[in-house]
Structure 1
Amino acid sequence: MEKTTIDVPVFTLHQKIIIAILALLQFTVILDFMVISPLGDILMKTLDMTTSNFGFAVSAYAFSAGISGLLAAGFADKFDRKKLLIFFYTGFIIGTVFCALSSSYLMLLMARIVTGLFGGVIGSVSLAIVTDLFVIQQRGRVMGFIQMAFATSQILGIPVGLYFANNWGWHSAFLMIAVLAALILIAIITQMQPIVKHLELQSDKSPFLHLWHTLSNKQYQVGFTAIAFLSVGGFMLQPFGSAFLVNNIHISHIQLPMVFFFTGLSVLFIMPLVGRLSDKISKFKLFTAGSVISIVMVLIYTNLDPIPLWEIVVINMILFMGIMSRMIPATTLNTAIPEMKDRGAYMSITSSLQQIAGGIAAVCAGFIVHQETKTSPLENYNILGYVIAVVTFCTILLIWRVNQLAKSKEALAKSKGL
């Protein structure tokens, strides 16, 4: 009987170095975006922001990231990916420094726009690098390691950021990120080799024609839509997370780091497991299981009344284990959709639409949620839960279609002996 198990290739030393660099890079980018959520209650009180103002502050990063990603998409496959990464990461560091120097809502809004213009392209360039350097049988594990940056940002980054904010002001949290990012930039420059294989496949068409060719591809549009929907839930739930915990659940600012620490710890545990499972079993089934868990937990979480600290920690841990169990299989399936010559543009557009959809979601969340005074409970937070549940169900249907396309491409590649 023919053996059906998949041979899982081992990583080379250079691949391990690349994984480490990309994971650390993602740590800083994710932390820069995520730290604004736990700082949300402090920022709304310090800079005198309403919930809608704060929604715009969060979405400003997302919208600018989305726009820059679209503008860069046509050029993403025209240059050495290492050089692109260095350019955009440098701009991201500068933007983060400006965030630290902000002294008003308007200045912070402008700084978030600058940071988003550069930070929004980094994720897509990183994904293109992963797709270029790792075969699909390795990508689940690679995505697992890179997505661990999310957990690490919660375990180490957010608690440390909150510690900095509580002791030296919220500005110091952004300064910490900028210093760490500068060290990682040095590692990229010195350790990463040029990534230029995709340049051999390029045609002479203009960057904008390349962008249009990628955007108008019917199969690619399925992936774009699925990943855009995937981001909506997080952008609606996260921005007001700390304000909800402080004002509705009565968790103190001193206790907040503990909530994020244990939540991150659970994600750190689940990520490698999901990554390995993603390379061995059906990615769609894994995604569906994570989606069902996240729907149930979101509905529970957004309808909570004041409960003990340990209960909110447990609920948060299960919630994010479900959410992150969706990210790896969905992202891995999506990398199978584009041809090599279109990967950079495809990943840029995917990232852009993800950010834009998330930005719209954050703005909508800011208008749905209402807070009468700076210390009163958030109202209508449960409405967000119902909206997120519906969007998550729609995402399952879209990822099913992505899964069908990935299977077709794999079958075609095998028939050609590739």
Structure 2
Amino acid sequence: MEKTKLEIPPFSSYQKYIIALLALLQFTVILDFMVLSPLGDILMKNLDMTTANFGFTVSAYAFSAGISGLLAAGFADKFDRKKLLVFFYTGFIIGTVCCALATNYALLLSARIVTGLFGGVIGSVSLAIVTDLFVIHQRGRVMGFIQMAFASSQILGIPVGLYFANHWGWHSAFLMIAGLGILILVTIVIKMKPVTEHLKLQSDKNPFLHLWHTLSNKNYQVGFAAIAFLSIGGFMLQPFGSSFLVNNIHISQLELPMVFFFTGLSVLFIMPLVGKLSDKVSKFRLFTAGSLLSIIMILIYTNLGPIPLWELVVLNMILFMGIMSRMIPSTTLNTGIPDMKDRGAYMSITSSMQQIAGGIAAVCAGFIVHQETKTSPLENYDILGYVISAVTLCSIFFMWRVNQLVKSKGKAVDAGVKAEIETESV
């Protein structure tokens, strides 16, 4: 008997709208985080901050976002996901406005904590919405488009942040993000439909029991571990990237925006391609290939000496090709682990693990890397590369475990997809 090929329906016009809306929303959240880096020198001078103060300002967002994700996890599946998104995005916008109004270090630190408390939950709610509205065979493409927000923030974050800061003061960069956020929030309220299918499957467990149930699920713990190792590898390299380029590679401050711009531009083209590929080939094999490419490029990158700008840009493009080839399939695979009734809690905890692991990674990187003076080359950056490579190998193992769990649910998922297709064709 001939096996019928499973046909996936194209995106509906409403699904395309949701993809665009979530991508724009993620853009503002990521840009809020990214724009802090190029403003570092201006903030330290204007608010009389030390480098340690600025480090706390950056990590405060990550840790508060991680804590809020855990606190929200028990409630994440108890409400309409649209209402949750509106609530936390409103808080995020208020926190961003508070950042713009800060006049000293203490106020800015407090504002970053508030922004993290709300912003840290938005990503998990968005992922839960994607998981509810798109079948797993579509999610790779969806993740590819939504995570283009990362590339767009790379392209726009540094140039736009510096442009606004140089012309109207550093406060204006945060006001610009808040203004864009208000427009997106109004669109969500008016145009987005409620997302409530998961409420039909809810039990009477109180939120804290629901959180404990999700945390104690052994299958879910595998996914949490995989995401934590992914985040550790990524956040270890990020904090000292600009300093390494300036002090070790001898890239000037004026050339830095070009590095980020062209790297982000390449990622903008890479991510949709990886997303499509993720829906057509084995997600785990794609993840493994991306991980191995990342390890090779990280070992080369962290051992670099002074090189021409164009060579650095090419190496950065290849490095991010490997990184993006890990992010999309791993995120897509991870959405296949939780049951619908637990998706909101699972995504919230996953987001928390991501943020907390990232904060810990940044602290650990600070202990590994040393710098004698503010202008001397970074020391032990090569050792940081070896540590990241080892962590990346561990992430391959955990993602293999995730892949096995998702495959075990594969038959049920395919049956559900066929049922959806048959329902739509009736």
Q: What is the TM-score of this pair, normalised by structure 2?
A: 0.93
- For 1:200 and 1:116, locate their aligned partners in 2 and report how far apart those are by CA, in whole Å: 31
Quote the Cα distance in structure 2 between the aligned partners of 1:365 and 1:46: 27
Point out where structure 1 has 5 or more consecutive residues left out of the alignment.
none
The within-5 A match list for 1:171-320 is 171-320=171-320
**Which secondary structure state, in structure 2, belongs to the residue aligned with residue 393 of structure 1?**
helix
Provide closer, same or farther for how the CA distance between residues 271 and 248 of structure 1 changes in structure 2, counting only shifts above 3 A: same
1:227-253 CA deviation, whole Å, 9 max, x = no partner? Answer: 111111221111222222223222222
1:381 Cα deviation after fit: 2.4
1:369-388 alignment, distance < 5 Å: 369-388=369-388
Q: CA deviation at 1:298?
A: 1.3
Residue type of the partner of 1:127?
L
Alignment of 1:16-415 (within 5 A): 16-40=16-40, 42-43=42-43, 52-413=52-413
What RMSD over aligned residues (CA atoms) do the two structures have, in Å? 2.0
Provide the secondary structure at the position in 2 that maps to 1:79. Answer: coil
Task: Give the superposition deviation at 1:292.
Answer: 0.9
Q: Alignment partner of 1:251: what SS?
A: coil
Cα separation, 2, equivalents of 1:213 and 1:395: 24
- Residues 338 and 307 of structure 1, relative CA distance in 2, 3 Å threshold: same
Distance 2:246 2:98 in 1: 28
Per the TM alignment, residue 336 of structure 1 is displaced from its structure 2 partner at its CA by 0.5
Q: Is the 1:56–1:362 contact (alpha carbons within 8 Å) kept by the matching residues of 2?
A: no
Please tell me whether the aligned partners of residues 34 and 157 of structure 2 are also in contact (alpha carbons under 8 angstroms).
no
Name the count of aligned residue pairs: 418
SS in 1 for 2:36: coil
Partner SS state of residue 379, structure 1 = coil
- Structure 1 residues 381 and 95: CA distance shift in structure 2, 3 A: farther
Q: Contact 2:121 / 2:351 at 8 angstroms: preserved in 1?
A: yes
Inter-partner Cα distance in structure 2 for 1:321 and 1:51 = 31
Distance 1:68 1:405, change over 3 A: same
Return the alpha-carbon distance in structure 2 between the equivalents of residues 22 and 281 of structure 1: 25
How far residue 102 of structure 1 moved from its aligned partner, in angstroms, is 3.1
Contact 1:8 1:137 in 2 (8 A): yes
Contact 1:275 1:328 (8 Å CA) reproduced:
yes
Letter in 1 for 2:367: F
> AA paired with 2:360?
I
Give the Cα separation in 1 of the matches to 2:37 and 2:15. 33
AA aligned opposite 1:384:
L
Q: Which moved more, 1:91-100 or 1:402-411?
A: 91-100
Gap regions ≥5 residues in structure 2: 420-426
Post-superposition Cα deviations, 1:312-355, rounded to whole Å, max 9, x if no partner, equal: 11111111111111111000000010000000001001111111
| Conservation of the 8 A alpha-carbon contact between 1:55 and 1:366 | no
Structure-2 change in CA distance of 1:385 and 1:101 (3 Å): farther
Deviation at 1:100, TM superposition (A): 2.5
8 A contact 1:235–1:361 mirrored in 2: yes
Q: Secondary structure at the match of 1:252?
A: coil
Structure 1 letter corresponding to 2:408: S
C-alpha contact 1:284 1:330 (8 A) present in aligned 2: yes
How far does residue 118 in structure 1 lie from its aligned partner after superposition? 0.4
SS of 2:147 mapped into structure 1:
helix
Matching residue of 2:423: none
Which deviates the most, 102-111 or 385-394? Answer: 102-111
Q: 1:55, 1:362 within 8 Å by CA — same for their partners in 2? A: no
How far, CA to CA, are the matches of 2:29 and 2:397 in structure 1?
A: 29
